[in-house]
Each structure stands twice: as C-alpha cells, then as structure tokens.
Amino acid sequence: MELPDFIYPVRWTLNFGIPLNVYLIRGCDYAVYIDSGVNSLFDQLLSALDQAQVPYDRLRFILHTHSHHDHIGCDRRLKERTGCLIAVHPLYAAWHTDFERHYQEFARPFPELIPDTPELRAEVLGILDGEHKVDLLIDEGITFDLGGVRLTALAFPGHMKAELGWLEPESRTLILGDAITGLDWPIFHSHLSVPSYRTTLQKIRELVADGQVERVLFAHFPPMAAGDAVRLTEQAEQYLEAIEIALIRILAERDCATLGELWQELCARMGRQQEFRALNTVHAHIEDLMQREVIREIEHRVYALR
C-alpha cells in the first residue's frame, strides 16, 4: 500500500518472524517517531531521518503508542543523539525510567509461575538501549501540529491497560501500536483487558464507518486499507471468543482449575508456547469471566464454573 509522502516506515523482524514497523512522520516544522522499536533499529532510524531530509535536531518527539520493550528500545540513544523528547502515557511512564520494574510488571506479575531466569531477563531487557527520562505525559485528545501534518492521540486499550493510536485527519491515516494483537503467532500476544480490547475493536470499526480512517498502519501487520483493517478486527473478535470458549471447556471438564493449570491447558489446546504473555492473557479472560459471573474463584487463583 502506498503511504502518504510524509510517512517513512522503518522495518525490522523479531523472533518467530514477527514484523516490527516504526514510523517517522515529517511535518514542515518538525518530525516525530511513533515508537522507537528495538535497540537493533538505531542505525536504521537515523538513516530514515537522513532519507526524509530531517536534521537530527528537528526530531522533536518520540510519541509512544505504549511502553512495551519492543516499542521503546531506541529511546535513550535517539534522545541523546537528537535531543528529542519522550512522550508516554502516565500509567506506564515508570517502565522507561526503571527497567527492573518494567521487567517484573510485564513478565512476572505472577512470580510463583514465572521464574526469574537469565534467559527471561535477556528476552525482555536485551532489546532495550537504556533507562531514560520521560519528558511529557500524554493521553487521548492531545494533538501535535508538525506543520501541515497533525497527529491526535486516541485511546485503544486492551493489549495494555493504556495504549494510544495516532490519527492524521487530512490523509485519514491511523497509526497503531498493538491495539490489534498478533492472532496466529506461536505465542499469545497478550492482552490485559478483554472488555477494553473489544471496545478498541469496535472503535476502529466506527472510525472507518465514519469516514475518518482510510488506511491503518500497524506495528506488527502490514499497512492495510480500511476494509482490510475492519476484517482484521473481526478476526480478533473470533480470536477472543476462541480463547474464552477453550477456557470454559477446560473448566467444564473438571471441578476446578488453578491459574497455572488453565494457562498450561489453554496453550496445549491452542498450540501456543507456554510463556508469560500467555499467562497474562489467561488471567485477563479469567477476570472478564468472573466479572460476567460465568466463573467464580473458590480459593486464591482456583476457579470453577458457576
């Protein structure tokens, strides 16, 4: 898909062949990056500035969709090289300044089930270039005028409890991070709130239906025309439903199950790796099912159907 001439994509490939896209947005007055990817991207990010004929001191901001490790990995060096400011949602600002907290809250919210290993630390922390100051706290509604190009933040939670996308209204371009998660990866690309994820999917459809969006740019999918993006939201709805049905069936086959047992069995049935993102996903669905009174917690992290 052809992109507007003020958008410069920078592409990388993560583990399991998962694509990673970072976008440089150039205005007449200054430029911004939407996220900064992983630390291996640094030279390519500088090359994109050169290609776009953006002097380094005209990179004004890194506007984050969210603060996961594969979206903030070049923040420190870009900030040091260009003087740009780091703009993030306040809920996860500490993940930029304290990588130990980032690691523990992201990968080990259930430390009794996820051991602290050198391998896990390397996976989470090894793609980050260093802790750094956060300069600006942002939320839905804030607009940046780059000069002929405007970017307005919209909320798309679900994958995280706070996540932003960026709408450029003149070109009707929506730039997202992980608002729609990977649906067929070898791992569960985790989501932390099922109701929020469903609301986000509906919001994307409404933006398309209202004519505000004609193309959607993703971190982990190729750019899509609006119709294709809507179809992707429908696939995501089916993905959420498949996880829910699988968990209910597991509980229907036994008197009760622990969080760990549900995690292990769901991964086995759906053919995904049993790792921390899957555990976070299972917990999100358990919270949703309890809120809807489909299941109950009979003792600490032990669940049964109602």
Entry pTM: 0.97
Q: How far apart are CA 186 and CA 267, in angstroms?
A: 10
Percent of the chain topping pLDDT 70: 100
Q: DSSP E strands: which ranges in the chain?
A: 7-13, 19-26, 31-34, 59-63, 85-88, 136-137, 143-145, 150-155, 164-168, 173-175, 215-217, 224-225, 257-258, 295-299, 302-305
- Judged by DSSP in three states, 120 sits in helix
Query: Sorting pLDDT into bands at 50, 70 and 90, what band is 135?
Result: very high
In sign, the C-alpha dihedral spanning 187, 192, 197, 198 is: positive
pLDDT in tens, 210-264: 999 999 999 999 999 999 999 999 999 999 999 999 999 999 999 999 999 999 9
Average pLDDT, the chain: 98
Give the per-residue pLDDT at 229: 98
One CATH from 1.10.580.10, 3.40.50.300, 3.90.220.20, 3.60.15.10 for 7-236: 3.60.15.10
Cα–Cα–Cα angle for 112, 114, 119, nearest 5°?
Answer: 145
DSSP string, 98-116: -HHHHHHHHH-SSTTTS--
Do residues 225 and 171 lie in contact, with contact meaning Cβ atoms separated by under 8 Å? Answer: no
Give the per-residue pLDDT at 20: 98
Give the per-residue pLDDT at 93: 98
Percent of the chain topping pLDDT 90: 99
Q: Which residues contact 5 (CB under 8 A, 6 or more apart)?
A: none
Give the per-residue pLDDT at 125: 98
Give the per-residue pLDDT at 300: 97
Judged against a pLDDT cut of 90, whether residue 16 lies above it is answered with no
Per DSSP bridges, beta strands 164-168 and 150-155 are antiparallel
Q: Which residues contact 235 (CB under 8 A, 6 or more apart)?
A: 183
Give the per-residue pLDDT at 182: 98
Give the per-residue pLDDT at 69: 98
pLDDT in tens, 54-107: 999 999 999 999 999 999 999 999 999 999 999 999 999 999 999 999 999 999
Beta bridge partners of 249: none
Judging by beta carbons within 10 Å of its beta carbon (0-12, 13-18, 19+), is residue 239 exposed, middle or buried? buried
The mean pLDDT of 17-41, rounded to a whole number, is 98
Domain boundaries, the chain: 7-236, 243-305
The mean pLDDT of 126-152, rounded to a whole number, is 98
Helix 226-252 / helix 276-291 crossing angle, nearest 10 deg: 80
Please tell me what DSSP assigns to residue 210.
T
Q: What CATH number is given for 243-305 in this structure?
A: 1.10.10.10
The mean pLDDT of 116-141, rounded to a whole number, is 98
Q: How far apart are CA 146 and CA 32, in angstroms?
A: 8
Give the per-residue pLDDT at 1: 82
